[in-house]
Structure 1
Amino acid sequence: MATDQGTQIQTQDDDFVPLVTGRARSIALVVVLLAMFMDLLDNTIINVALPSMSPSRDPVISATAKAKV
């Protein structure tokens, strides 16, 4: 008698067998780690680029930049 209990299957001898094993579990781990790395990289790029994209706080530089446009 096999009954479904969340992520495991209970067999007659009460041994629990996980539904996801081996290669599928490894692929899922790689996908999650890759997504976390991409998020970290994206945040790092934004934190480096934002200061150079923001308008200058120095009024002389801001006036010069507006005059060049």
Structure 2
Amino acid sequence: TSGLFDKKPELYKTEMCRNWQEMGQCRYAKKCCFAHGIKELRAVQRHVRYKTQICRTYHLTGTCLYGVRCTFIH
């Protein structure tokens, strides 16, 4: 797999693999860019202003397209 992690290697294994979480397996196995369990999960370096302001969209509409990846407070 490639894409985002080629451009932003600092994000490698910083989120849990959805397939691993939902089905307990992943077809990419060791090549997967997402974490398969807590032991593989890496900490992300966040900007000092990360989640310091309210997400206007979420508070106006009750939803946000970015979901958990939103950099604002929900």
Larger Rg: 1
Relative contact order (alpha carbons < 8 A, sep ≥ 6): 1 or 2 greater?
Answer: 2
TM-score normalised by the chain length of structure 1: 0.22
- Structure (1 or 2) with the greater strand fraction: 1
TM-score by length of 2: 0.21
Counting helix residues as a fraction of each chain, which structure ranks higher?
Answer: 1
